[in-house]
Amino acid sequence: MLALFIKAYLVQPYIVDGQSMEPTLHNSDRLIVDKLPHTIARINNHAYIPKRGDIIIFNQDNLPGYTGSKQLVKRVIGLPGDKVVVNNGFIAIYNKANQKGFNPDKTVGYKITAPYTGGDVNITLGTNQLFVCGDNRGNSEDSRYFGPIDSSQVVGKLSLRVWPIGHAEHF
């Protein structure tokens, strides 16, 4: 019972499947997902909104080749109320604090495999919506393809990479 409680509300193991988060995460990396902030938000009847740049695990339905829901790992690029524009190979975020826009790939402090971000997106995120992308933009099915996700789809935030042991890291 204790193990079920811990997995349901506190932490969850996760295995990376694919190359969409390279160079940050690699195929078969073993991760620990922190579910506590999401659990606390639900207890307080609030949406869990991670920070821009956080890596999250979320449930996504209707992916090509999958029946039902699949858990994915991606980086939060856009937050509720942001206008997200993907054009000419770059992402730009527009909001009240940045009316002229900014490129999160250059300002938030994470690494992507290539500076080019394909796609043609122009969307304003609604309440509780997030725009997520893989760090390997050329090999990632993300919000550029399936649209924004709702905060209710979020399982938790990446906390630790525990395997391979030589690359263990706290996020």
Res 114: pLDDT: 76
Res 35: pLDDT: 86
In 10 A of CB 141, how many CB atoms? 15
Domains held by the chain: number: 1
Res 18: pLDDT: 86
Name the residue range of residue 145's domain: 2-170
* Given 20, 140, 143, 151, the catalytic residue: 20
Res 6: pLDDT: 76
7 part of the active site = no
Say if CB 67 and CB 52 are below 8 A apart: no
* Given 28, 35, 69, 74, the catalytic residue: 74
Res 138: pLDDT: 84
Say if CB 71 and CB 14 are below 8 A apart: yes
CA separation, residue 65 to residues 42, 73, 150, 165 (Å) = 31, 17, 22, 32
Q: Tell me, what CATH number does 99's domain have?
A: 2.10.109.10
| Residue showing tokens 């080019």 | 116
Res 52: pLDDT: 95
The set of residues, in sequence order, having a beta carbon less than 8 Å from that of 124 and lying 6+ positions away, is 81, 82, 83, 84
Residue type, 2: L
- Report d(CA 30, CA 20) in Å as an integer: 15
74 part of the active site = yes
Say if CB 162 and CB 32 are below 8 A apart: yes
Res 56: pLDDT: 96
Average pLDDT per run of 10 along the chain, which is 171 residues long?
Answer: 76 87 90 88 88 94 80 95 93 92 85 80 95 91 92 91 85 86
